[in-house]
Protein backbone atom coordinates (compact mmCIF):
# COMPACT_ATOMS: atom_id res chain seq x y z
CA UNK A 1 0.00 0.00 0.00
CA UNK A 2 1.36 3.42 -0.94
CA UNK A 3 -0.40 5.43 1.71
CA UNK A 4 0.81 8.96 2.16
CA UNK A 5 -1.52 9.76 5.01
CA UNK A 6 -1.47 7.40 7.91
CA UNK A 7 -3.20 9.04 10.90
CA UNK A 8 -2.18 6.05 12.98
CA UNK A 9 1.44 7.27 12.89
CA UNK A 10 0.55 9.76 15.56
CA UNK A 11 -1.16 7.19 17.73
CA UNK A 12 1.56 4.62 18.09
CA UNK A 13 3.23 6.00 21.19
CA UNK A 14 1.80 7.31 24.45
CA UNK A 15 4.16 10.28 24.66
CA UNK A 16 3.38 11.26 21.11
CA UNK A 17 -0.35 10.91 21.68
CA UNK A 18 -0.07 13.39 24.53
CA UNK A 19 2.06 15.75 22.45
CA UNK A 20 -0.53 15.99 19.73
CA UNK A 21 -3.50 16.07 22.06
CA UNK A 22 -5.86 18.85 21.04
CA UNK A 23 -7.81 19.45 24.21
CA UNK A 24 -5.96 20.45 27.36
CA UNK A 25 -7.65 20.56 30.71
CA UNK A 26 -6.60 22.07 33.95
CA UNK A 27 -7.86 21.73 37.50
CA UNK A 28 -8.17 25.48 37.78
CA UNK A 29 -11.16 25.34 35.44
CA UNK A 30 -13.22 23.03 37.66
CA UNK A 31 -16.05 24.17 39.90
CA UNK A 32 -17.86 21.97 42.39
CA UNK A 33 -21.58 22.41 43.17
CA UNK A 34 -22.38 21.88 46.83
CA UNK A 35 -25.58 21.83 48.91
CA UNK A 36 -25.79 23.45 52.32
CA UNK A 37 -28.60 22.81 54.75
CA UNK A 38 -29.86 23.97 58.15
CA UNK A 39 -28.95 22.22 61.36
CA UNK A 40 -25.83 21.17 63.19
CA UNK A 41 -23.44 18.37 62.49
CA UNK A 42 -25.34 17.24 59.41
CA UNK A 43 -23.88 15.34 56.50
CA UNK A 44 -26.75 13.74 54.69
CA UNK A 45 -26.32 11.63 51.60
CA UNK A 46 -28.61 12.58 48.72
CA UNK A 47 -30.41 9.33 47.87
CA UNK A 48 -30.56 9.94 44.12
CA UNK A 49 -26.93 11.13 44.02
CA UNK A 50 -24.81 8.50 45.77
CA UNK A 51 -21.58 10.07 47.01
CA UNK A 52 -23.07 13.59 47.17
CA UNK A 53 -24.17 15.13 50.45
CA UNK A 54 -26.00 18.03 51.99
CA UNK A 55 -23.82 19.64 54.62
CA UNK A 56 -24.79 21.85 57.52
CA UNK A 57 -22.67 25.00 57.69
CA UNK A 58 -20.55 23.60 60.53
CA UNK A 59 -19.71 20.46 58.52
CA UNK A 60 -18.88 22.11 55.15
CA UNK A 61 -15.31 22.42 56.21
CA UNK A 62 -14.54 18.75 55.73
CA UNK A 63 -15.58 18.79 52.09
CA UNK A 64 -13.99 22.15 51.36
CA UNK A 65 -10.71 20.94 52.84
CA UNK A 66 -10.80 17.85 50.62
CA UNK A 67 -11.55 19.91 47.53
CA UNK A 68 -8.71 22.33 48.17
CA UNK A 69 -6.32 19.47 48.83
CA UNK A 70 -7.34 17.96 45.50
CA UNK A 71 -6.73 21.29 43.76
CA UNK A 72 -10.37 22.28 43.20
CA UNK A 73 -10.40 25.98 44.02
CA UNK A 74 -13.92 26.99 43.10
CA UNK A 75 -17.23 26.02 44.68
CA UNK A 76 -20.79 26.85 43.79
CA UNK A 77 -23.17 26.93 46.74
CA UNK A 78 -26.84 26.00 46.82
CA UNK A 79 -28.85 26.66 49.97
CA UNK A 80 -31.61 24.45 51.28
CA UNK A 81 -33.62 26.57 53.72
CA UNK A 82 -35.50 25.28 56.74
CA UNK A 83 -38.63 27.15 55.69
CA UNK A 84 -39.94 27.93 52.27
CA UNK A 85 -42.56 30.57 51.58
CA UNK A 86 -44.49 32.12 48.72
CA UNK A 87 -41.97 34.95 48.26
CA UNK A 88 -38.85 32.83 48.68
CA UNK A 89 -37.72 35.12 51.48
CA UNK A 90 -34.92 32.75 52.51
CA UNK A 91 -33.16 33.48 49.22
CA UNK A 92 -32.34 37.07 50.17
CA UNK A 93 -32.35 36.92 53.98
CA UNK A 94 -29.18 38.41 55.45
CA UNK A 95 -28.88 35.40 57.75
CA UNK A 96 -30.24 32.89 55.23
CA UNK A 97 -28.68 29.48 54.92
CA UNK A 98 -26.52 30.24 51.90
CA UNK A 99 -25.49 33.65 53.25
CA UNK A 100 -24.27 32.00 56.47
CA UNK A 101 -22.47 29.39 54.41
CA UNK A 102 -20.70 32.08 52.37
CA UNK A 103 -19.64 33.94 55.51
CA UNK A 104 -18.25 30.81 57.08
CA UNK A 105 -16.53 29.58 53.92
CA UNK A 106 -14.96 32.97 53.20
CA UNK A 107 -13.68 33.26 56.73
CA UNK A 108 -12.33 29.70 56.91
CA UNK A 109 -11.06 29.34 53.35
CA UNK A 110 -10.01 32.72 51.98
CA UNK A 111 -8.32 30.96 49.04
CA UNK A 112 -11.47 29.31 47.83
CA UNK A 113 -13.43 31.07 45.07
CA UNK A 114 -17.10 31.15 46.01
CA UNK A 115 -19.91 31.27 43.47
CA UNK A 116 -23.55 31.80 44.42
CA UNK A 117 -26.35 30.20 42.45
CA UNK A 118 -29.01 32.90 42.29
CA UNK A 119 -32.52 31.47 42.01
CA UNK A 120 -35.72 31.26 44.02
CA UNK A 121 -36.85 27.67 43.45
CA UNK A 122 -35.08 26.22 46.49
CA UNK A 123 -36.72 28.91 48.63
CA UNK A 124 -40.30 29.17 47.35
CA UNK A 125 -43.10 27.00 48.74
CA UNK A 126 -44.39 26.47 45.19
CA UNK A 127 -40.94 25.52 43.86
CA UNK A 128 -40.97 27.93 40.93
CA UNK A 129 -37.97 30.08 40.11
CA UNK A 130 -39.73 33.38 40.77
CA UNK A 131 -42.63 35.28 42.27
CA UNK A 132 -46.04 34.05 41.19
CA UNK A 133 -48.90 36.09 39.87
CA UNK A 134 -51.74 33.56 39.84
CA UNK A 135 -50.24 30.40 38.34
CA UNK A 136 -47.62 32.26 36.32
CA UNK A 137 -44.16 33.43 37.27
CA UNK A 138 -44.18 37.23 37.06
CA UNK A 139 -40.98 38.07 35.21
CA UNK A 140 -40.51 41.73 36.08
CA UNK A 141 -41.53 41.41 39.70
CA UNK A 142 -39.10 38.52 40.10
CA UNK A 143 -36.18 40.65 38.92
CA UNK A 144 -36.06 42.77 42.06
CA UNK A 145 -35.98 39.65 44.23
CA UNK A 146 -33.22 38.07 42.17
CA UNK A 147 -31.24 41.29 42.40
CA UNK A 148 -31.70 41.37 46.18
CA UNK A 149 -30.64 37.72 46.37
CA UNK A 150 -27.49 38.36 44.36
CA UNK A 151 -26.62 41.38 46.50
CA UNK A 152 -27.15 39.47 49.75
CA UNK A 153 -24.81 36.75 48.51
CA UNK A 154 -22.11 39.23 47.49
CA UNK A 155 -22.44 40.94 50.89
CA UNK A 156 -22.05 37.58 52.59
CA UNK A 157 -18.84 36.79 50.73
CA UNK A 158 -19.75 35.33 47.33
CA UNK A 159 -17.00 36.17 44.85
CA UNK A 160 -19.29 35.67 41.86
CA UNK A 161 -23.03 35.32 41.33
CA UNK A 162 -24.69 32.98 38.87
CA UNK A 163 -28.36 33.56 38.07
CA UNK A 164 -30.07 30.30 37.06
CA UNK A 165 -33.71 31.38 36.99
CA UNK A 166 -34.05 32.22 33.27
CA UNK A 167 -36.10 35.40 33.75
CA UNK A 168 -35.69 37.99 31.01
CA UNK A 169 -33.55 40.94 32.05
CA UNK A 170 -32.13 39.43 35.22
CA UNK A 171 -28.50 40.01 34.29
CA UNK A 172 -29.12 43.73 33.82
CA UNK A 173 -31.15 43.94 37.04
CA UNK A 174 -28.48 42.12 39.05
CA UNK A 175 -25.66 44.18 37.50
CA UNK A 176 -27.44 47.42 38.41
CA UNK A 177 -28.08 46.30 41.99
CA UNK A 178 -24.51 45.13 42.51
CA UNK A 179 -23.07 48.33 41.02
CA UNK A 180 -25.30 50.60 43.07
CA UNK A 181 -24.09 48.91 46.22
CA UNK A 182 -20.39 48.95 45.58
CA UNK A 183 -20.03 45.50 44.05
CA UNK A 184 -19.06 46.61 40.56
CA UNK A 185 -16.19 44.11 40.61
CA UNK A 186 -18.34 41.08 41.33
CA UNK A 187 -18.66 39.07 38.10
CA UNK A 188 -21.91 37.59 36.88
CA UNK A 189 -21.85 34.13 35.38
CA UNK A 190 -25.16 33.81 33.64
CA UNK A 191 -26.92 30.50 33.11
CA UNK A 192 -27.67 31.98 29.69
CA UNK A 193 -28.61 28.82 27.86
CA UNK A 194 -30.53 26.71 30.32
CA UNK A 195 -32.94 24.11 29.09
CA UNK A 196 -36.07 22.69 30.66
CA UNK A 197 -34.38 19.36 31.26
CA UNK A 198 -35.16 16.01 32.82
CA UNK A 199 -31.50 15.91 33.79
CA UNK A 200 -32.24 18.14 36.81
CA UNK A 201 -34.37 15.47 38.53
CA UNK A 202 -31.87 14.44 41.23
CA UNK A 203 -31.04 18.07 42.05
CA UNK A 204 -34.70 18.72 42.75
CA UNK A 205 -34.71 15.77 45.14
CA UNK A 206 -31.60 17.15 46.78
CA UNK A 207 -33.02 20.63 47.20
CA UNK A 208 -36.71 19.73 47.51
CA UNK A 209 -37.27 22.21 44.72
CA UNK A 210 -39.52 20.41 42.24
CA UNK A 211 -42.36 22.73 41.19
CA UNK A 212 -45.53 22.01 43.19
CA UNK A 213 -47.59 22.40 40.01
CA UNK A 214 -46.80 22.73 36.34
CA UNK A 215 -43.27 22.77 35.01
CA UNK A 216 -40.51 25.23 34.17
CA UNK A 217 -41.17 25.36 30.44
CA UNK A 218 -42.44 28.93 30.49
CA UNK A 219 -38.99 30.14 31.53
CA UNK A 220 -36.40 27.42 30.81
CA UNK A 221 -35.70 26.74 27.15
CA UNK A 222 -37.14 24.15 24.81
CA UNK A 223 -34.36 21.69 24.00
CA UNK A 224 -35.29 21.61 20.33
CA UNK A 225 -33.96 25.13 19.87
CA UNK A 226 -30.57 26.25 18.68
CA UNK A 227 -31.05 29.80 17.42
CA UNK A 228 -32.87 30.67 20.61
CA UNK A 229 -29.81 29.49 22.54
CA UNK A 230 -27.69 31.97 20.65
CA UNK A 231 -30.27 34.70 21.20
CA UNK A 232 -30.21 34.09 24.95
CA UNK A 233 -26.41 34.09 24.99
CA UNK A 234 -26.21 37.37 23.04
CA UNK A 235 -28.82 39.05 25.23
CA UNK A 236 -27.05 38.12 28.43
CA UNK A 237 -23.73 39.28 27.00
CA UNK A 238 -25.34 42.61 26.07
CA UNK A 239 -26.82 42.93 29.56
CA UNK A 240 -23.37 42.67 31.07
CA UNK A 241 -22.79 39.00 31.81
CA UNK A 242 -19.10 38.30 32.33
CA UNK A 243 -19.30 34.54 31.76
CA UNK A 244 -21.98 32.57 29.93
CA UNK A 245 -23.12 29.08 30.73
CA UNK A 246 -24.73 26.25 28.81
CA UNK A 247 -26.64 23.73 30.91
CA UNK A 248 -26.87 20.72 30.90
CA UNK A 249 -23.50 19.84 29.36
CA UNK A 250 -23.60 16.26 28.15
CA UNK A 251 -26.39 16.42 25.58
CA UNK A 252 -25.57 19.99 24.53
CA UNK A 253 -22.07 19.91 23.10
CA UNK A 254 -23.31 21.47 19.87
CA UNK A 255 -24.48 24.55 21.73
CA UNK A 256 -21.38 24.80 23.87
CA UNK A 257 -19.44 25.03 20.60
CA UNK A 258 -21.76 27.52 18.98
CA UNK A 259 -21.99 29.88 21.92
CA UNK A 260 -18.22 29.70 22.24
CA UNK A 261 -17.69 30.61 18.59
CA UNK A 262 -20.27 33.38 18.49
CA UNK A 263 -19.43 35.30 21.64
CA UNK A 264 -16.23 36.61 23.18
CA UNK A 265 -17.00 35.64 26.75
CA UNK A 266 -15.59 32.78 28.77
CA UNK A 267 -17.96 29.84 28.67
CA UNK A 268 -19.01 27.53 31.45
CA UNK A 269 -20.89 24.28 31.06
CA UNK A 270 -22.67 22.51 33.88
CA UNK A 271 -22.70 18.74 34.00
CA UNK A 272 -25.88 18.47 36.02
CA UNK A 273 -27.23 16.11 38.64
CA UNK A 274 -28.88 13.70 36.19
CA UNK A 275 -25.60 13.25 34.35
CA UNK A 276 -23.91 12.42 37.64
CA UNK A 277 -26.63 10.03 38.77
CA UNK A 278 -26.75 8.16 35.47
CA UNK A 279 -23.04 7.52 35.56
CA UNK A 280 -23.17 6.47 39.21
CA UNK A 281 -26.11 4.13 38.72
CA UNK A 282 -24.65 2.50 35.62
CA UNK A 283 -21.26 2.11 37.29
CA UNK A 284 -22.79 0.65 40.45
CA UNK A 285 -24.63 -1.88 38.32
CA UNK A 286 -21.30 -2.80 36.76
CA UNK A 287 -22.43 -1.70 33.29
CA UNK A 288 -19.77 0.95 32.68
CA UNK A 289 -16.39 2.00 33.99
CA UNK A 290 -17.06 5.11 36.05
CA UNK A 291 -13.65 6.76 35.77
CA UNK A 292 -13.54 6.17 32.04
CA UNK A 293 -16.97 7.68 31.50
CA UNK A 294 -16.28 10.68 33.75
CA UNK A 295 -13.07 11.48 31.86
CA UNK A 296 -14.72 11.10 28.49
CA UNK A 297 -17.65 13.34 29.41
CA UNK A 298 -15.29 16.01 30.70
CA UNK A 299 -13.10 15.87 27.60
CA UNK A 300 -16.15 16.21 25.39
CA UNK A 301 -17.31 19.31 27.28
CA UNK A 302 -13.87 20.94 26.99
CA UNK A 303 -13.47 19.87 23.38
CA UNK A 304 -16.78 21.56 22.60
CA UNK A 305 -15.45 24.84 24.01
CA UNK A 306 -15.94 24.77 27.77
CA UNK A 307 -13.63 27.04 29.76
CA UNK A 308 -15.16 26.37 33.18
CA UNK A 309 -16.58 22.94 33.92
CA UNK A 310 -19.06 22.73 36.76
CA UNK A 311 -19.41 19.14 37.88
CA UNK A 312 -20.18 16.94 40.86
CA UNK A 313 -17.16 14.90 39.74
CA UNK A 314 -14.77 17.86 40.19
CA UNK A 315 -12.73 16.22 42.93
CA UNK A 316 -12.40 12.94 41.00
CA UNK A 317 -11.48 14.80 37.82
CA UNK A 318 -8.78 16.73 39.63
CA UNK A 319 -7.31 13.40 40.66
CA UNK A 320 -7.55 11.99 37.14
CA UNK A 321 -5.75 15.09 35.85
CA UNK A 322 -3.01 14.65 38.45
CA UNK A 323 -2.62 11.04 37.40
CA UNK A 324 -2.32 12.08 33.77
CA UNK A 325 -5.37 10.07 32.85
CA UNK A 326 -6.82 13.13 31.12
CA UNK A 327 -5.73 16.70 30.72
Which residues form the catalytic set?
194, 247
* 299 secondary structure, DSSP code: H
Among 37, 105, 121, 293, binds ligand PBG (CB under 6 A): 121
Q: Is 153 in the site for ligand PBG (CB under 6 A)?
A: no
Nearest CB to ligand PBG, comparing residues 123 and 302: 123
In angstroms, what is the minimal distance from the CB of 117 to ligand PBG? Answer: 5
Rg (CA), the chain: 20
Stretch that binds ligand PBG, among 94-102, 113-121, 131-139, 141-149 (CB under 6 A): 113-121
| Cα(298)–Cα(52) distance, integer angstroms | 18
**Which residue from 305, 310, 204, 307 is spatially nearest to 248, judged by alpha carbons?**
310
| Cα(172)–Cα(193) distance, integer angstroms | 16
| Cα(122)–Cα(90) distance, integer angstroms | 9
In angstroms, what is the minimal distance from the CB of 33 to ligand PBG? Answer: 6
Query: What mask of x and - would describe binding to ligand PBG in positions 159 to 188, judged by CB under 6 A?
Result: -----x------------------------
List the interface residues with ligand PBG, window 199-218 (CB under 6 A): 200, 203-204
Other C-beta atoms within 10 Å of 154: how many? 23
Q: Is 232 in the site for ligand PBG (CB under 6 A)?
A: no
Q: Ramachandran region of residue 221, left (φ > 0), alpha (ψ -120 to 50) or beta?
A: beta
List the interface residues with ligand PBG, window 241-270 (CB under 6 A): none
* 221 secondary structure, DSSP code: B
Torsion angle of C-alpha atoms 200, 203, 204, 205, degrees rounded to 10 = 130
# residues near ligand PBG by CB under 6 A: 10
Nearest CB to ligand PBG, comparing residues 23 and 50: 50
Nearest CB to ligand PBG, comparing residues 196 and 235: 196
Q: Is 64 in the site for ligand PBG (CB under 6 A)?
A: no
Write the DSSP assignment of 83-99 as a string of letters.
--BTT-GGGS-TT-HHH
Q: Ramachandran region of residue 324, left (φ > 0), alpha (ψ -120 to 50) or beta?
A: left
State which residue has the least CB distance to ligand PBG: 203
Q: Is 192 in the site for ligand PBG (CB under 6 A)?
A: no
Other C-beta atoms within 10 Å of 74: how many? 20
| Cα(316)–Cα(196) distance, integer angstroms | 28
List the interface residues with ligand PBG, window 294-313 (CB under 6 A): none
Q: Is 131 in the site for ligand PBG (CB under 6 A)?
A: no
User: What is the CA angle 233-207-110, rounded to 5?
Assistant: 75
Among 64, 119, 255, 308, binds ligand PBG (CB under 6 A): 119
Among 273, 277, 306, 315, binds ligand PBG (CB under 6 A): 273
Nearest CB to ligand PBG, comparing residues 32 and 327: 32
Residues in the site for ligand PBG, rule: CB under 6 A? 117, 119, 121, 129, 164, 200, 203-204, 272-273
Amino acid sequence: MELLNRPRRLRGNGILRKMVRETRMDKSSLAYPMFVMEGNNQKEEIPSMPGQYRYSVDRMEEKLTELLAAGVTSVMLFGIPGNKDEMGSGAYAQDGIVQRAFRKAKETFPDLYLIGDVCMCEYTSHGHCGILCGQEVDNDKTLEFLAKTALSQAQAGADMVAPSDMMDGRVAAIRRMLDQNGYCSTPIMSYAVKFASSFYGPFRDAAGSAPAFGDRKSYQMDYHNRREALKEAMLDAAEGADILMVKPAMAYGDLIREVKDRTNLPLASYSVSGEYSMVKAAAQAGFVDEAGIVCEMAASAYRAGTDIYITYFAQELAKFMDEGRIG
